[in-house]
């Protein structure tokens, strides 16, 4: 995973840029905790051991990280600032605790993030997830919904699909919020709709079983209806949102109560259903079967009336609907709004409702506040305490960090005193979602040892934002959204200057598979770093990973593939060997080459250099193409060693090789460089600058087409004129055969490339 990033960092540095390339450990979390439990070890010990192992292997891979900036999120030096940032969010009203319906795994006994629920089941133990009402900590990411959405337009360095995924995730929709009165109750039910133009087609009102009106209905309906409401609510109580919606048919019950349409004054039945989400909008919808597919399905299966109030602007109407007509059109049966277009009716109805004081325009998001508390041990303690007298209180800044206790001392940990009254208080026992730590770690790299602040503003001013971010696409709406939220908050505090987006350019890497499957211990198809280092060498591995596939594609590890790169490295070594110990000052490329073969050799070196640079500055990173150019160069050098005597050209090409390969195969590059007799590191050199004269060719192949088909390839001097090219073509025997004596009506000439003769 880190090979591409390292190649990019090394290329950038050899192009003269000042590169900060750090590494750290996102070390808290459920998987580490469970693995530690399974091994009967303290998670802190388990994690420390694994960091040691992984650090050794990553160093073995030759990644050029600045290890002086290494961080681990499970260390107090880091999570202290995690707690401090939580308190900053708390003080600005962006962290709050509330009762909410959450995903609960009854087996693991913790809440789960939405992303940890797969098809309604716990991602680890496959237990069916339940819905529970618990008091949990949330971050108010929805306060930034509009900015998170609008600023996506400026993220031109991000893949379009990632921006689209974030747009869909945030899911802004504009509509109207208004209320239905409930007959016999001094209470109203608010609904949100994007299709207020269909208001007169509402034939029922549907609410989620959790809606607060449900309890009050029990007082006004018959005993039978009250019992039905109770049993329906009970049957759905523990069912997760996903279970209710995706895994169940639409169903519902009539409550026995009626709601009043605020405009038509029509009386419509109030239903409880499983398909209305408690957590979106107001937890209630107006049911318009004629113009909404879901309402149509529900009305059909429950015998509710279907009233069409929008008809296509042109074409026939009046036919009974076979499915919901969801497009815009022209209103009918809608009192004085009849005849209006949907668009105009939406404006007019919003105004009318606002005038009546019954509602108005509103915006809703599918984005929900981020649930960050976890009933888990291995995480950052949430720095809050609860006093019987004073209530909820933040831990004072000078009391940070709240250290994670060893597990046997949990009881002592929880007991504390209130900072206000000095009385007994209890600590919050939940820890934070690990996505909290990972939402700002890139800033800590700038100033990893600062014990007065998470980072000093001057460092952020100097380095931010992240110029190139490389990671998997699986974080499109998680880490990459959370980080944007945090960064905007920091920016608003004045802790960061410049852009309020953390990642300027984003690149998603493809997976590396083996035998068509993801490498994993359980599948037993993992390729060991140590074993690979031993057998093939790290440089061959790095070259292979960059070479198999363009970096954004899924690639397949093969043992044959890596041996091809071992062969390349051996050939590079042999091509350089004759010149060991003969350092000279840099040679001017054109002076080195005389014969066409020598010029081709020098040219190949510059073609490779141009490819490496182009792939880097364009941020396409298709180094597979660059390495193919290196193959071509080495092929020429191998041919030269048998046919061409040692010459300034072969020497020039050999001496260019360590620099050309340095970002991709750093170890052998350094070794060759030293053997040439250099006293300093090749990694401190500038990359080979492509020379226009070295790239130019003196002879070209003129492709001659007759009526668009290639009929001859004629060698010609570069810059051959159109008339000369025409003369050459007309002298070619195969061209004459295909012209068959016919007149050349016209011709198309592409200089130094192609001549197409069009014959009658």
Partner RNA sequence: GCCCAGAUGGCGGAAUUGGUAGACGCGCUGGUUUCAGGUACCAGUGGUGGCAACACCGUGGGGGUUCGAGUCCCUUUCUGGGCACCA
Nearest to 474 by CA among 502, 511, 439: 511
Residues 6+ apart with CB under 8 A from 531: none
Nearest approach in angstroms of CB 671 to RNA is: 19
Closest to RNA by CB, 104 or 275: 275
Closest to RNA by CB, 499 or 703: 703
Q: What region, left, alpha or beta, does residue 529 occupy, with left being phi > 0 and alpha being psi -120 to 50 degrees? A: alpha
Nearest approach in angstroms of CB 757 to RNA is: 9
Options 338-346, 451-459, 495-503, 561-569: segment touching RNA (CB under 7 A): 561-569
Nearest approach in angstroms of CB 548 to RNA is: 4
The verdict on 132 binding RNA (CB under 7 A) reads no
State how far the Cα of 286 lies from the Cα of 254, in Å rounded to an integer: 14
Options 46-54, 143-151, 392-400, 562-570: segment touching RNA (CB under 7 A): 562-570
What tokens appear for 163 in the block?
Answer: 């921006």
Nearest approach in angstroms of CB 518 to RNA is: 10
State how far the Cα of 73 lies from the Cα of 434, in Å rounded to an integer: 9
Buried b (16+ CB within 10 A) or exposed e, 305-324: ebbbbbbeeeeeeeeeeeeb
DSSP per-residue string spanning 293-360: HHHHHHHHHHT------EE-SSS---SPPSS---S--EE-SSGGGTT-BHHHHHHHHHHHHHHTTSEE
The residue within the footprint of RNA, chosen from 26, 130, 347, 632 (CB under 7 A), is 632
x-or-dash string of contact with RNA, 640-659, rule CB under 7 A: --x-----------------
The verdict on 45 binding RNA (CB under 7 A) reads no
Helix (H, G, I), strand (E, B) or coil at 614: helix
The verdict on 638 binding RNA (CB under 7 A) reads yes
Options 144-152, 186-194, 586-594, 644-652: segment touching RNA (CB under 7 A): 186-194
Nearest approach in angstroms of CB 163 to RNA is: 10
x-or-dash string of contact with RNA, 534-553, rule CB under 7 A: -------------xxxx--x
Chain positions 278 to 307 lying near RNA, rule: CB under 7 A, are 280-281, 283, 285-286, 292, 294, 297
- Largest separation between any pair of C-alpha atoms in the chain: 109
Options 100-108, 129-137, 499-507, 702-710: segment touching RNA (CB under 7 A): 702-710
Chain positions 477 to 506 lying near RNA, rule: CB under 7 A, are 477
Nearest to 713 by CA among 700, 698, 697, 696: 700
Q: How many CA atoms lie within 13 A of 270 on its CB side?
A: 31
| Contact criterion met (CB below 8 Å) for 566 and 540 | yes
Chain positions 586 to 625 lying near RNA, rule: CB under 7 A, are 622, 624-625
The residue within the footprint of RNA, chosen from 224, 680, 709, 740 (CB under 7 A), is 709
The verdict on 322 binding RNA (CB under 7 A) reads no
The residue within the footprint of RNA, chosen from 96, 564, 651, 667 (CB under 7 A), is 564
The verdict on 142 binding RNA (CB under 7 A) reads no
C-beta atoms surrounding 361 within 10 Å: 15
| Contact criterion met (CB below 8 Å) for 254 and 269 | yes
Nearest approach in angstroms of CB 287 to RNA is: 8
Nearest approach in angstroms of CB 245 to RNA is: 3
Closest to RNA by CB, 448 or 551: 551
Options 166-174, 421-429, 483-491, 676-684: segment touching RNA (CB under 7 A): 166-174
**Phi/psi of residue 551, nearest 5 degrees:** -65, -20
Helices 3-14, 538-547: axis angle to 10 degrees equals 90
Residues 6+ apart with CB under 8 A from 726: 747, 749, 755
Closest to RNA by CB, 614 or 671: 614
Chain positions 385 to 444 lying near RNA, rule: CB under 7 A, are none
Nearest to 370 by CA among 216, 489, 500: 489
Residues 6+ apart with CB under 8 A from 40: none
State how far the Cα of 651 lies from the Cα of 631, in Å rounded to an integer: 17
State how far the Cα of 561 lies from the Cα of 540, in Å rounded to an integer: 10
Chain positions 187 to 206 lying near RNA, rule: CB under 7 A, are 192-195
Closest to RNA by CB, 686 or 713: 713
The verdict on 560 binding RNA (CB under 7 A) reads yes
For residue 748, the surrounding DSSP H or E stretch is: strand 744-750
Nearest approach in angstroms of CB 284 to RNA is: 7
Nearest approach in angstroms of CB 192 to RNA is: 5
The verdict on 143 binding RNA (CB under 7 A) reads no
| Contact criterion met (CB below 8 Å) for 305 and 203 | yes
Alpha helices in 15-98 (DSSP H): 30-38, 43-60, 76-91
Options 97-105, 170-178, 213-221, 484-492: segment touching RNA (CB under 7 A): 170-178
Closest to RNA by CB, 142 or 416: 142
Nearest approach in angstroms of CB 540 to RNA is: 11
Chain positions 242 to 281 lying near RNA, rule: CB under 7 A, are 242, 244-246, 248-250, 274-277, 280-281
Closest to RNA by CB, 260 or 703: 703
Nearest approach in angstroms of CB 739 to RNA is: 11
The verdict on 758 binding RNA (CB under 7 A) reads yes
The residue within the footprint of RNA, chosen from 6, 33, 210, 241 (CB under 7 A), is 241
Nearest approach in angstroms of CB 95 to RNA is: 22
- Whether omega for the bond prior to residue 401 falls within 30 degrees of 0, making it cis, is yes
What tokens appear for 562 in the block?
Answer: 């890596």
Q: How many CA atoms lie within 13 A of 390 on its CB side?
A: 17
Nearest approach in angstroms of CB 117 to RNA is: 10
Residue ranges with strand state E in 492-534: 503-508, 512-514, 517-518
Please give the DSSP secondary-structure letter assigned to residue 588.
P
Closest to RNA by CB, 74 or 575: 575
Residues 6+ apart with CB under 8 A from 667: 62, 537, 538, 539
x-or-dash string of contact with RNA, 712-731, rule CB under 7 A: -x------------------
Options 171-179, 404-412, 423-431, 653-661: segment touching RNA (CB under 7 A): 171-179
List the Cα angle 311/207/232 in 5-degree steps: 125
Helix (H, G, I), strand (E, B) or coil at 151: helix
The residue within the footprint of RNA, chosen from 711, 725, 729, 739 (CB under 7 A), is 711
Chain positions 347 to 386 lying near RNA, rule: CB under 7 A, are 364, 366
The residue within the footprint of RNA, chosen from 570, 583, 681, 721 (CB under 7 A), is 570
Please give the DSSP secondary-structure letter assigned to residue 629.
H
In this structure, the dihedral spanned by the alpha carbons of residues 587, 589, 595 and 597, taken in order and rounded to 10 degrees, is 110
The residue within the footprint of RNA, chosen from 134, 165, 390, 456 (CB under 7 A), is 165
| Contact criterion met (CB below 8 Å) for 557 and 519 | yes
Options 216-224, 375-383, 469-477, 671-679: segment touching RNA (CB under 7 A): 469-477
Nearest approach in angstroms of CB 210 to RNA is: 11
Closest to RNA by CB, 154 or 697: 697
The verdict on 171 binding RNA (CB under 7 A) reads yes
The residue within the footprint of RNA, chosen from 1, 57, 231, 558 (CB under 7 A), is 558
The residue within the footprint of RNA, chosen from 391, 580, 734, 742 (CB under 7 A), is 734
Closest to RNA by CB, 55 or 124: 124
Radius of gyration of the chain from Cα atoms? 35
Q: If binding means CB under 7 A, how many residues of this protein chain bind RNA?
A: 84
């Amino acid at each position: 995973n880190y090979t591409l990033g390292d190649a990019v960092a090394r290329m950038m540095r050899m192009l003269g840029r000042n590169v900060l390339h750090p590494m750290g450990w996102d070390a808290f979390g459920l998987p580490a905790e469970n693995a530690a439990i399974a091994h009967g070890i303290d998670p802190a010990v388990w994690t420390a051991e694994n960091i040691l192992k992984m650090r050794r292997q990553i160093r073995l891979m030759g990644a050029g990280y600045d290890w002086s900036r290494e961080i681990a999120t499970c260390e107090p030096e880091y999570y202290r600032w995690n707690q401090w940032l939580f308190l900053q969010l708390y003080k600005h009203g962006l962290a709050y605790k509330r009762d909410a319906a959450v995903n609960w795994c009854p087996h693991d006994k913790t809440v789960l993030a939405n992303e940890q629920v797969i098809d309604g089941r716990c991602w680890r133990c496959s237990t069916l997830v339940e819905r529970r009402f618990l008091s949990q900590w949330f971050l108010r990411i929805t306060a930034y919904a509009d900015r998170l959405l609008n600023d996506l337009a400026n993220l031109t360095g991000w893949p379009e699909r990632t921006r689209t995924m974030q747009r869909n995730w945030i899911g802004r929709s504009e509509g109207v919020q208004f209320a239905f009165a409930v007959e016999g109750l001094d209470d109203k039910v608010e609904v949100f709709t994007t299709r207020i133009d269909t208001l007169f087609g509402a034939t029922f009102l549907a609410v989620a079983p959790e809606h607060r009106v449900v309890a009050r209905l029990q007082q006004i309906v018959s005993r039978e209806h009250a019992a039905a409401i109770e049993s329906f609510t009970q049957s759905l109580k523990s069912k997760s949102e996903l279970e209710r919606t995706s895994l169940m048919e639409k169903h519902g019950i009539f409550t026995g109560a009626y709601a009043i349409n605020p405009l038509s004054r029509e009386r419509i039945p109030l239903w409880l259903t499983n398909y209305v989400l408690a957590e979106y909008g107001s937890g209630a919808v107006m049911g318009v079967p004629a113009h909404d597919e879901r309402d149509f399905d529900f009305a059909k299966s429950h015998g509710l009336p279907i009233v069409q109030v929008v008809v296509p602007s042109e074409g026939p109407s009046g036919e009974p609907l076979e499915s919901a007509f969801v497009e815009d059109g022209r209103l009918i049966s809608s009192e004085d709004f009849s005849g209006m277009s949907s668009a105009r009716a939406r404006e007019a109805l919003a105004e009318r409702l606002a005038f009546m004081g019954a509602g108005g325009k509103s915006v809703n998001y599918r984005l929900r506040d981020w649930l960050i508390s976890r009933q888990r041990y291995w995480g950052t303690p949430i720095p809050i305490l609860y006093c019987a007298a004073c209530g909820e209180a933040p831990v004072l800044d000078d009391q940070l960090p709240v250290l994670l206790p060893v597990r046997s001392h949990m009881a002592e940990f929880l007991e504390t005193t209130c900072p206000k009254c000095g009385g007994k208080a209890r600590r919050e026992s939940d820890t934070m979602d690990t996505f909290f730590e990972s939402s700002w770690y890139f800033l800590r790299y700038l100033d990893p040892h600062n014990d007065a602040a998470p980072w000093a503003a001057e460092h952020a001013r100097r380095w931010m934002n992240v110029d190139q971010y490389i990671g998997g696409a699986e974080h499109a709406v998680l880490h990459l959204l959370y980080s944007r939220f945090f960064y905007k908050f920091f920016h608003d505090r004045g802790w960061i200057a410049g852009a309020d987006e953390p990642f300027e350019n984003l690149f998603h890497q493809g997976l590396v598979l083996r035998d068509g499957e993801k490498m994993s211990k359980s599948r037993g198809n993992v390729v060991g770093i140590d074993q690979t280092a031993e057998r093939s060498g790290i440089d061959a591995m790095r070259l292979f990973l960059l070479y198999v596939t363009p970096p954004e594609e899924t690639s397949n590890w093969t043992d044959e593939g890596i041996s091809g790169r071992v062969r390349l490295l051996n050939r590079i070594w042999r091509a350089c060997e004759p010149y060991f110990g003969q350092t000279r000052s840099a040679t001017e490329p054109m002076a080195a080459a005389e014969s066409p073969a020598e010029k081709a050799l020098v040219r190949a070196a510059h073609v490779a250099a141009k490819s490496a640079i182009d792939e880097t500055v364009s941020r396409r990173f298709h180094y597979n193409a660059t390495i193919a150019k290196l193959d071509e160069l080495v092929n020429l050098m191998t041919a030269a060693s048998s046919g061409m005597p040692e010459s300034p050209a072969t020497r020039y090409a050999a001496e260019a090789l360590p620099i050309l390969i340095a970002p991709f195969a750093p170890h052998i590059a350094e070794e060759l460089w030293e053997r040439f007799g250099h006293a300093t590191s090749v990694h401190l050199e500038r990359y080979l600058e492509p020379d226009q004269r070295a790239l130019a060719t003196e002879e070209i192949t003129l492709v001659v087409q007759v009526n668009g088909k290639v009929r001859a390839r004629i060698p010609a001097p570069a810059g051959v004129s159109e008339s000369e090219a025409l003369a050459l073509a007309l002298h070619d025997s195969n061209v004459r055969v295909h012209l068959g004596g016919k007149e050349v009506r016209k011709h198309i000439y592409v200089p130094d490339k192609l001549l197409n003769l069009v014959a009658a």
